[in-house]
Amino acid sequence: MNDLETEIFDVKWSPTHPSVFATGDGLGNLDLWDLSKDTEGPRYRKSDESQWSAINKLWFSNDGKRILTGNSQGVVKLWSVDKSYYQSKPEDLDKLESLIHSPY
């Protein structure tokens, strides 16, 4: 199965970056997406090889620096987020707005 064909169980927008969101999928992948940089796939992927369980729940900390995940085995993990995913620049919002308003 293609990684982008697996079920997404949760998605959360970053509270600090307008074009960043995270997804948790049925293969246990935590993906960070940045629509201002790429709309076709995640910019960062972290797999929890020790569990291989679906990530069912995500939560960003209020400052966007951490993500809490819960999986189908009941394991909760805290992940650090790279600065580029929680510190936005003014042009990030401009890029996202142009993407939303551009005709396909």
Domains of the chain: total: 1
User: Which of 64, 62, 98 is closest to 84 using CA atoms?
Assistant: 64
The model's pTM is 0.81
The range of the structural domain enclosing residue 13 comes to: 3-101
103: Cα separation from own chain's centroid: 25
**Residue 22, beta-bridge partner list:** 12, 32
Could you report the per-residue pLDDT of 40-77, keeping only the tens digit for each?
889 999 986 666 789 999 999 999 999 999 998 899 99
The residue whose two tokens read 């995640």 is 42
